[in-house]
């Protein structure tokens, strides 16, 4: 498969990203995750800059009334041109389920493990060296 045919983040990312603010309460976060059937979300400041990521695991494992107390501030992000194989590798290596997609410093999407699995289910050719069961 030629490099230009390789699937990249923009091919599979979710563009309508549900975000939360650092001041969102833990209870409201739980409502947002449940209502939208997602397991985590990027955390953005008032200017829309990504400042963290928060997940169900953070909600369950950490104590805090607000997202800022439980979110992960070490954000691993990708660009729209990041190959899906690289995305899978990052998810496996860092044991994470979603990666924010940035254009410069602007959040333009998110790729979750479910997006990769969906692409595989749709018959898209993805050259994964990481077994899907490790994602």
In percent, how much of the chain has pLDDT > 90? 76
Nearest CA-CA partner of 12 in 126, 131, 107: 126
CB atoms within 10 A of CB 70: 21
* Cα–Cα separations (whole angstroms), residue 109 to 14, 60, 74, 112, 117: 5, 25, 18, 10, 17
**Model pTM score:** 0.85
Looking at residue 6, its pLDDT comes to 78
* Structural tokens at position 54: 């928060």
- The pLDDT tens digits for 78-90 are 999 999 989 999 9
Where along the chain do its domains lie?
3-134
119-135 per-position pLDDT tens digit:
888 777 666 665 655 55
Q: CATH classification of 3-134, choosing from 3.60.15.10, 3.30.465.10, 3.10.580.10, 3.40.800.10?
A: 3.10.580.10
| Start-to-end C-alpha separation, the chain | 23
Contact 23, 67 (CB under 8 A): yes
């Amino acid at each position: 498969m030629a490099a230009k045919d390789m699937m990249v983040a923009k091919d599979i990312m979710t563009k309508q990203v549900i975000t939360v603010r650092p001041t969102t309460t833990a209870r409201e976060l739980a409502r947002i995750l449940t209502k939208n059937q997602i397991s985590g979300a990027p955390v953005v400041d008032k200017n829309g800059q990504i400042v963290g990521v928060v997940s169900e695991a953070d909600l369950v494992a950490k104590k805090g009334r607000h997202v800022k107390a439980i979110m992960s501030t070490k954000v691993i992000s990708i660009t729209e041109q990041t190959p899906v194989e690289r995305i899978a590798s990052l998810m496996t290596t860092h044991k994470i389920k979603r990666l924010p997609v940035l254009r410069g410093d602007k959040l333009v999407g998110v790729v979750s493990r479910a997006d990769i699995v969906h692409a595989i289910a749709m018959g898209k050719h993805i050259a994964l060296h990481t077994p899907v069961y490790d994602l």
